Amino acid sequence: MSETIVVIGAGVIGLSTALDIQQHLRRSQSILLVAREFPSDTSINYASPWAGAHYRPVPGSSPQALREANQAQRTYEFLKRVAADEPAAGIRFIQGVEHLEAPPPEYLDRESVRNVYPHLDGFRALAPHEAPAGVKWGVQYGTYVVNSPVYCAYMLRKFILNGGSTRQYTLAHVNEAFSLTANVKTVVNCSGTGFDDPQSFIIRGQTCLIRNPCSATITRQNSDGSWSFCIPRPLDGGTIIGGTKQPHDWDPNPSLETRSRLLANAAKWFPFTPESGGKFDVIRDIVGRRPAREGGMRIEAEKVAENRYVVHGYGAGGRGFEISRGVAEDISALMLEKGLLQAKASL
């Protein structure tokens, strides 16, 4: 009898996971992707289209940091192939630069840095004379930038072309997904914040999308602990100027004062082309909610009844794009381990 796997969520995590699962389907299995929002929709609670997005490693040696570092490395290698093979996917490799004025302890710990940076193409520390005034720690490397709405739309197209089905629907409970169609044994929960998980919380982010082009993605940590960054979006998608990280802040409105501060810092720190004459051509303010979780993502297979599993994959916080492919592979591996998929590709 044919079986349907339901994947909840059409953000970067749900789409990446659905595509990976498609590589392991048995002939009798198909996938239904169910989501409240799809890439053509906008909502403050749908994080993916608002992401910058770039890859900037996060040094550390906690279990979460090491797990994410591993997922990020696999995603980096995967996106290199996507950028080379499919330019319309909205991924481009460019130079990444980091300038920190007051580096936190993990940046000064050699092992924490070694855990996350050396795999990057051309990675090197900046000599003191190469760093701008006030910068105590600087590095440069090859990294990628993502036009996040374009990349999500590309993945959705690919999923459908591979035979996947979609349904726009808001679930009241994760278990409702078992009743959406006949014979559902596995539900994959990539809903961003999960369903009533007390460990989940949101991190508000405000950025500004401008037309001015920029050739590198630069991140600067200011002496007051705030961060400034510029992220050029591929395919003429403008440049994202960021940004704030405000845990538990539910304000849906952009703050004009924040916009002015972000742009003033960008004018000071980032090398925009001389044609801009120091002026920014603002397209829009962006406010989004990063779906975070204490301790990091929940990637876990939960047996909810005889022959029924919910496989969780939510809580990516501020790193959903950077770790997306690694997370998708980890979810598929968990499903293979539980016998919910087959090891050999059948496509």
Ligand X SMILES: Cc1cc2nc3c(=O)[nH]c(=O)nc-3n(C[C@H](O)[C@H](O)[C@H](O)COP(=O)(O)OP(=O)(O)OC[C@H]3O[C@@H](n4cnc5c(N)ncnc54)[C@H](O)[C@@H]3O)c2cc1C
If you ran DSSP here, which 8-state letter would residue 54 be given? B
Q: Tell me if 230 contacts ligand X by CB under 6 A.
A: no
299 phi, psi to nearest 5 deg: -120, 105
Q: Is 37 in the site for ligand X (CB under 6 A)?
A: yes
Q: Give the whole-angstrom CA distance, residue 205 versus residue 227.
A: 12
Query: Binding to ligand X by residue 53, rule CB under 6 A?
Result: yes
Question: Cα(308)–Cα(319) distance, rounded to whole angstroms?
Answer: 30
**Contact of 333 with 71, CB cutoff 8 Å:** no
Strand stretches in 101-190, DSSP E: 124-125, 137-146, 165-168, 184-189
| Using rule CB under 6 A, residue 46 touches ligand X | yes
Residue from 29, 140, 147, 191 binding ligand X (CB under 6 A): 191
Residue 190 corresponds to which amino acid? C
Stretch that binds ligand X, among 20-28, 43-51, 154-162, 261-269 (CB under 6 A): 43-51
Contact 129, 144 (CB under 8 A): no
188 in contact with ligand X (CB under 6 A):
no
Q: In this chain, which of 19, 31, 54, 188 binds ligand X, going by CB under 6 A?
A: 54
- Give the residue, chosen from 127, 128, 170, 224, that forms a contact with ligand X under the rule CB under 6 A: 170
What's the min distance (Å) between Cβ of 255 and ligand X?
13
Query: In sequence order, which residues have a C-beta less than 8 Å from that of residue 183 and are 6 or more positions away?
Result: 1, 2, 3, 4
- x/- contact string, 71-100, with ligand X (CB under 6 A)? ------------------------------
Q: Given the rule CB under 6 A, which residues bind ligand X?
A: 8-14, 34-37, 46-48, 50-54, 170-171, 190-192, 205, 207, 243, 286, 288, 290-291, 314, 316-322
